[in-house]
Chains A and B, each alone.
Chain A
Amino acid sequence: MTTGETHRAIEAVFRIERARLIGGLARLVRDVDRAEELAQDALVIALSEWPGTGIPVNPGAWLMTAAKRRAIDAIRRDRMRDRKHEELVREQGGTTDSAAEDEMIAAMDEDPGDELLGLIFTACHPVLSPDARAALTLRVVGGLATDEIARAFLTSEATIAQRIVRAKKTIGKAGLTFEVPRGRERAERLASVLEVIYLIFNEGYAATSGEDLVRPALCQEAQRLARMLAALMPGDDPENAEIFGLLALIEIQASRLPARTGPDGALLTLNQQNRAHWDRLLIRRGLEALERAQAIRGDGPYALQAALAACHARAFTPAETDWGRIAALYDRLRVVMPSPVVDLNRAVAYSMAFGPEAGLRLIDQLASAAALRNYAPLPAARGDFLLRAGRPVEARAAFETAAGLTRNARERDFLLARAEACG
C-alpha cells in the first residue's frame, strides 16, 4: 500500500467512528466544537501511528482513548495555571484533584450506541430551529462537509457555516448534556429528532426548488439516520413506534425514486410511474418496519402515513389499489394530524373508494378552508370528481380555476389539457 492509500484507509475508519467519537467527547467537554477538534486530533495521531502499528483491533476505542487523553491534558494544563496562583498563597504541595480525571477514565467504556444517540438527540434539540437541527445533524452525525450541506440545501456555504456555529453556541448556552433524554422529556425530544430526519428526507425527495427535483444524497442520509435510530433504540417500547413508522414511510417513499421522474426531468404522479421500477427491496424493508411499528401499536402520524404509502406499494397496478383501506386510514390520520391537505386527500380517497359523489360531498365542505383557498390541487380534484360524476361543464370550469392558481408551467398545461378534454 502506498502512503496515500494507507491514509485513505485510515480516514475511512475514522469516518465510521467520527460521530460516536464526537458524541462521547461532547459529553465530556460539553462543547461540540471542542469535541470535533479533539476527534480531529485523534485522527492526526492515528495517521502518524497506524501506518507503523497497523489499524488496531478496536479502532473506535483507540481513537476515543487518544482523544480523551488530549482532553485530559488540556484540563490539567488549565488546572495547573489556576493552581499556581493558589500555591503561591497557601505554599502547599500539589495534591492532584483527580476526581474529574477518574470520571473521564470511567466514562471510557460507555456504550458507543448510547453516545451516538446522545449526539443525535442533542443535535436535534428543540432549542434549535428545524433548519439548524438539520444542518448540525448532517455535519456532526452524517459527517457531511459544510459545502456539501450548502449544496444540498441550495444555499451558500457561509449561511450553513453560520447556522452551524450558532447552533453549537446555543447548545453550549443551554447547557445541554449530550445524554439520551429520559422520562417525560423523551417523547418531545424524540418527535424533534424524527421531524429533522423527515425534513432532510423531504428536502431531497420533494425538492421544492433547484434544477434537480430529487436530490438522492439527502434522501440517503435521512434513510441512514432513520435506520440507525431504529437499530439503536429499543424496538419493543411502544414509545418508539413512530421511529419505525418514519423508517417505513421513508423506505417506501424512497422505493419510488427510480420511477419518479420522466425522461424530461418532470415529476410523475403515482399513476404515471412505471411500477416495475419501484425498488422492491426498499418496499420490503418499509413493510417490515411498518409491521414492527404496528406490533407495538404504532398509530401515530408517521405510522399512518407509512400505512398509506404501503397501500400504494402493494398495488402492482393503480387499479389494484385498496382505496377502501386508504379512506379508512385517512379517517384516522385526520384525527392525529388534522390538516386541510389531509382532508383533501381523504376526499380523493373517498371518491376512489365510494364514487365521485362521496368525494364531492367532502370536498365541498373543504372549499371554504382558508388554507386551501388558492390551492390548485383542490379545484383540480373537484374537476376530476365532477367529470367522473358526468358534469363536464362544471368540471371544465374547475380545471380552469386550478390552472389559474398553479405557478408550475407543466402543471398548468396539464390542467388546461384536462379542461379542454371536458368538451
Chain B
Amino acid sequence: MRVMVLVKATEDSEQGFNPTPETMAMMEAMGKFNEDLEKAGILLAGDGLKPSSEAKRVAFDGAGRSVIDGPFAETRELVAGFWLWQVKDMDEAVAWVKRCPNPMPGPSEIEIRPIYELEDLLPQAGG
C-alpha cells in the first residue's frame, strides 16, 4: 500500500526556515532518516513546504473561483512537509514514523493517510 505521511505545521514552521545550529542539526538528522527510508526501499517522494504566508488557496463554489492569500490560521491543521511511502501495511508505516527525528523544535504531529489504490475505486462485486 502507499501512504502519504504529512508533517503538520507548528508556529515554528510557519515562521519559515531559519538556519541556526539547532535547525541545521535537525536537517541533518532528517537527511539521515531519509537515507534510511531509501535503503529500506519504501521512499517514493517527499519534500518540505514553505510556510503558508507564501501559499494561496483557491476557493471553489459552483462556477466561482476565488483566490485567498496566506498566511492561514488554524496553524496545527496545516501541512509543513510530506512523504509518499510504499509500505506493506499501516503498522509498518507507524513503525517508520516513530523513528522519524522530531521534525519541529516543540511538540508536533505527523499524520499517516493511506492512498486510494485502483482496487479501492472499482465497484465492489454485489455492492
Q: Give the B-binding residues of A (Cβ under 8 A).
A: 8-9, 11-13, 15-16, 55, 113, 116, 220, 223-228, 231-232, 258, 281, 285
Contact = CB atoms under 8 A, between A and B. Distances in A.
Contacts of A116: 39
A16 B84 contact: no
Contacts of B38: 227, 231
B39 A228 contact: yes
22 contacts: A9-B94, A9-B95, A12-B95, A15-B92, A16-B40, A16-B95, A16-B96, A113-B39, A116-B39, A220-B86, A223-B86, A224-B41, A224-B42, A224-B86, A226-B41, A227-B42, A227-B43, A228-B40, A231-B41, A258-B118, A281-B45, A281-B84
B111 interface: no
Contacts of A220: 86
Interface in B65-86: 84, 86
Q: 6 nearest interchain CB pairs?
A: A224-B41, A12-B91, A227-B41, A12-B95, A231-B38, A228-B41
A385 B60 CA distance: 52
Contact of A12 (B35, B43, B44, B92): B92
Contacts of B45: 281
Contacts of A8: 91
Contacts of B88: 15
Nearest to A226: B41
A116 B41 CA distance: 12
Contacts of B39: 113, 116, 228, 231-232
Interface of B: 35, 38-45, 84, 86, 88-89, 91-92, 94-96, 98, 118
A285 B71 CA distance: 33
Given A9-B91, A12-B95, A55-B98, 8 more contacts: A8-B91, A9-B94, A11-B91, A13-B95, A16-B40, A16-B96, A228-B39, A281-B45
Nearest to A257: B118
The A interface, classified by DSSP as helix, strand, loop or mixed, is helix
A150 B42 CA distance: 24
A341 B1 CA distance: 35
Q: Which of A224, A226, A227 has the most CB of B within 10 A?
A: A227
Nearest to B88: A15
B92 A225 contact: no
Contacts of A281: 44-45, 84
Contacts of A223: 41, 86
A113 to B, nearest CB: 6
Contacts of B35: 231
Nearest to A229: B41
Contacts of A9: 91, 94-95
B115 to A, nearest CB: 11
A15 B94 CA distance: 12
A232 B84 CA distance: 20
Contacts of A232: 39
Q: Which of A12, A15, A116, A258 has the most CB of B within 10 A?
A: A12
Contacts of A13: 95
Contacts of A258: 118
B67 to A, nearest CB: 26
Nearest to B39: A231
B30 to A, nearest CB: 16
A184 to B, nearest CB: 27
Nearest to B119: A216
A13 B39 CA distance: 16
B1 to A, nearest CB: 9
B122 to A, nearest CB: 10
Contacts of B89: 12
Contacts of A224: 40-42, 86
Contacts of B42: 224, 227
Nearest to B45: A281
A3 B94 CA distance: 17
A55 B95 CA distance: 10
